[in-house]
Amino acid sequence: MIKAELLQYYTKFTPNTDPGEYGYLFHELPRGLPELCRLIKCQLIHPTMIKKVRHSLTHFTKNEDEKFYQVTEMLEALVERNADGITFDRLPSERLLISCRFHSLLLISMLRSQGIPVRCRVGFACYLSENHRKYIDHWICEVWDDTEKRWIRVDPDLELIDIQGDEFLMAGDAWLMARDKEINPQLFGVKKSWGMHYIRNNLCYDLNAILGNELRYWDYPPLCQKEMDELDWEELQLLDEIALYLQDPDENHDQLQALFLEHDFLHFKG
């Protein structure tokens, strides 16, 4: 059974999920996950959808990921574009054009404002690929269901609640499967970038996210700046160990924290 203090840990804002001075925007949020996901989609548009809504856009017509890091920056921009703040009535031209990491951060911030344990997870979604044949880089949330006493996987970008089975593979699972040659690593990635290096990077991102440091896609820790054939045996073994611990991050939280503190090359230093 998950420890109460660990659940409490996942109700606390991290630097990237703290709404700061914009916390007032969360005072009258709906309580249900479907409603919250719907509300988030009224604030954000994933860059892959820009072409479908371009006729509704004005000045903001390109991926805006690089403009933001923390939820406070996102909320500031939302208020600048529509003073009503978090609203179902926001026009497409007033939304932020940002990807899955930011969708997840906003849901985490909202739920933690309600005292609900939630965390970001990094992996790969086959439901994003044609015919479910590939696994696309994706960031989602795990939300604690206090009734069923378990984490449920929630994709606020696609508005999916309680994702089951291997529809979404955690980065650690993908790493171990690829290392054991149970699956082709070239099935994992996005656009023109596929393979073991992508799985390795997402593994390090997932470790950081579990420990409360939600990196951006281009925030490469030193270990992720190496080519795969440059990794030595000890580094590969460390990644194997991290992947194994991430199969149960609640039971192994202390071990993951210890490994992270021990190895500076797992830290992004921007």
pLDDT digits (tens, 9 = 90+) for 155-197: 999 999 999 999 999 999 999 999 999 999 999 999 999 999 9
Q: Give the pLDDT score at 50.
A: 72
CB atoms within 10 A of CB 204: 25
Amino acid at 140: I
For residues 82-99, average pLDDT? 94
Strands 150-155 and 135-145, bridge-based pairing: antiparallel
* Cα 98 from Cα 100, distance rounded (Å): 7
pLDDT cut 90: percent of the chain above it: 89
The residue range of the domain holding 207 is: 4-266
In contact, 214 and 204? CB cutoff 8 Å: no
Domain count for the chain:
1
Classify the phi-psi angles of 186: left when phi > 0, otherwise alpha if psi is within -120 to 50, otherwise beta: alpha
Mean confidence (pLDDT) of the chain: 94
| Structure confidence by residue, pLDDT tens digits, 186-238 | 999 999 999 999 999 999 999 999 999 999 999 999 999 999 999 999 999 99
pLDDT of residue 93: 86
Continuous segment of H or E residues that includes residue 4: helix 4-9
Categorize the per-residue pLDDT at 59 as very low, low, confident or very high, splitting at 50, 70 and 90. low
Provide mean pLDDT across the span 93-119: 97
Q: Which is nearest to 103 in space by CA: 120, 115, 127, 91? A: 120
Least confident segment among 55-69, 105-119, 191-205, 206-220: 55-69
Beta strand 188-190 pairing with 193-194? antiparallel
* Residue 119, pLDDT above cutoff 90: yes
For range 123-128, the mean pLDDT: 97
